[in-house]
Structure formats: structure tokens, C-alpha cells
């Protein structure tokens, strides 16, 4: 059974960066895309980008281009999402999710990132 | 970017009733790469339907999906108390993989 375990909650200052990790266990890490989705308090789901670990190629939503970097370490089955130039509007729960060919079957538990001065 | 519009925003029904949720895309969703998720407070979303009409593993058969092109529907045949939650559609056929804004299914 695939499990995605994310790093813990973060509190960051405006203008700083945050890096959230997502460690996968079970299944084949490299072959399936890992996506990052965020959810601001009381709001809906917002897709940020994804990476296919075996290719090492990431693509991003236009909204986050230039501010987000998604990487993957095949040796540790861990994906990372780094968001820079943080502002208060980036306060949200950040999820990693993995597809198995149709939709996002597996989700991490979520990581709350709070941006506050 | 494909924009998904869900309706209604809120649906108030009683247990045992039938729920019909709509998701309309701004352009055709390729190969019916359309998924539905259920989300309860404080939890990650759960995949219900993929490929517009295929149930994910472990999903009860009271959940069904239909549609193609730009119009998709999630139907819950007889509502159980645990079905009251927020539901999202998502297209994963093109990048970015966009989500609808959600439909809140509440107890009447």
C-alpha cells in the first residue's frame, strides 16, 4: 500500500522560502507523477505543479511559475516542493498526491504553512 | 487552462435522497480524464471516480460518475450520513490539472 508522509507544519516570515517534503513508501516511486496541491483556509483545492521522478521533469501552474520548484530524490523516494517569496496569501495546507493512472489515488496528510510577520 | 465550474455551490438534502452534482468544463476534457474527490473537514481529499465513470478502489457503488466532453455528473444514489462533505471535480488530461471550486453537500 502506498503511503505519502509529509514534513511538519511551518511558520515563515513574508519574503522567505519554505520547503516541504513528501516521502513515499510502498509501490514504485519513480514511475508515477507526484503533484502538489494547496488549500487556503476555507477555500478550494489549487494545483501547483508536478514531477515525474523517473524523468526528473517538473511542470508548474502559470500562477506559481518562478516561485515554485518541485524536485524528487529517487534514492530516498522523496519529493520536495519549495515556494519562495512567501506572502500572507500563501498560508495554506500543502498536499502531495500521487496518481496511479487515473486521478490522484494517494495523498499525503498535508502540511500547514503559515506566513506571518 | 481548462476552467471547471461546479454547481450547485451548496446542496441541501436528507439521508436517503439522491444527490446530483454537476461539473462543466470550459473546453473538452481529453479522454474523459475527469476525477471526483470527496473531502471532509481536516482530511485530505479522497478519490471517488476517475476516467469520468470508474469507481476508485473501495468506493461504494452508490457513487457513480457520468459524462464526457465538457459536461460531467457525480450521482450519489442514496445518501448516507457519512456522505455529507465537499466534493471536487478535477481534470487531469492537460496541464495544469485544474479543480472545480467545490460543491458542499449538507444535511437538510
DSSP state letters, B3-69 = -EEEE-SEEEE-TTS-EEEEEEESSPPGGG-EEEEEE-TTS--EEEEETTTEEPTT--TTEEEEEET
pLDDT, chain A, mean: 95
Arithmetic mean of pLDDT, A5-34: 94
pLDDT-based confidence at B30, cuts 50/70/90? confident
Please say whether the beta carbons of A29 and A96 come within 8 A.
no
Please give, rounded to a whole number of angstroms, the shortest distance from the CA of A21 to a CA of chain B: 16
Contacts B99 to A, Cβ<8 Å: 37, 44-47
Contacts A98 to B, Cβ<8 Å: none
Find the length of chain A. 117
With a cut of 90, say whether residue A84 has pLDDT above it: yes
Query: Of B13-22, B27-36, B80-89, which gets the smallest average pLDDT?
Result: B27-36
With a cut of 80, say whether residue B64 has pLDDT above it: yes
d(CA B55, CA B98): 20
Contacts B98 to A, Cβ<8 Å: 47
Residue A108 near chain B (CB below 8 Å) = yes
- φ and ψ at B68, to 5 degrees? -165, 170
All three cell numbers of A46, joined, read 489549487
Please give the C-alpha separations between residue B52 and each of A11, A34, B39, in angstroms, as whole numbers: 38, 21, 18
Report the CATH number at residue B60.
Answer: 2.60.40.10
Is the Cβ pair B88, A104 closer than 8 Å?
A: no
Q: Provide the number of structural domains found in chain B.
A: 1
Domain that holds residue B92: 4-107
With a cut of 80, say whether residue B31 has pLDDT above it: no
Contacts A99 to B, Cβ<8 Å: 92
Q: What is the model's pLDDT at position A100?
A: 79
d(CA B8, CA B21): 7
pLDDT, chain B, mean: 96
Residue A105 near chain B (CB below 8 Å) = yes
Q: Which residue has the cell 469507481?
A: B55
If we measure between CA atoms, which residue out of A16, A20, A18 comes closest to residue A35? A20
Measure CA B51 to chain center. 12
Amino acid at each position: 500500500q502506498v503511503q505519502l508522509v509529509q514534513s511538519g507544519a511551518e511558520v515563515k516570515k513574508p519574503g522567505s522560502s519554505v520547503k516541504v517534503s513528501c516521502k513515499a513508501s510502498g509501490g514504485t516511486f519513480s514511475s508515477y507523477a507526484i503533484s502538489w496541491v494547496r488549500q487556503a483556509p476555507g477555500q478550494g483545492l489549487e494545483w501547483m505543479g508536478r514531477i515525474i521522478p523517473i524523468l526528473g521533469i517538473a511542470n508548474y501552474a502559470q500562477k506559481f511559475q518562478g516561485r515554485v520548484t518541485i524536485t524528487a530524490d529517487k534514492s530516498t523516494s522523496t519529493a520536495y516542493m519549495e515556494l519562495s517569496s512567501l506572502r500572507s496569501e500563501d498560508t495554506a495546507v500543502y498536499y502531495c498526491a500521487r496518481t496511479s493512472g487515473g486521478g490522484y489515488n494517494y495523498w499525503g496528510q498535508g502540511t500547514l504553512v503559515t506566513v506571518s510577520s | 487552462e481548462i476552467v471547471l465550474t461546479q454547481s450547485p455551490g451548496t446542496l441541501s438534502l436528507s439521508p436517503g435522497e439522491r444527490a446530483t452534482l454537476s461539473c462543466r468544463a470550459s473546453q473538452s476534457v481529453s479522454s474523459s480524464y475527469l476525477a471526483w474527490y470527496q473531502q471532509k473537514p481536516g482530511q485530505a481529499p479522497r478519490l471517488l471516480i476517475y476516467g469520468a465513470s470508474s469507481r476508485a478502489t473501495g468506493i461504494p457503488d452508490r457513487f457513480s460518475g457520468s459524462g464526457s466532453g465538457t459536461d460531467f455528473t457525480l450521482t450519489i444514489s442514496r445518501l448516507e450520513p457519512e456522505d455529507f462533505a465537499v466534493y471536487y471535480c478535477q481534470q487531469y488530461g492537460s496541464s495544469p490539472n485544474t479543480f472545480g471550486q467545490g460543491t458542499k453537500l449538507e444535511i437538510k
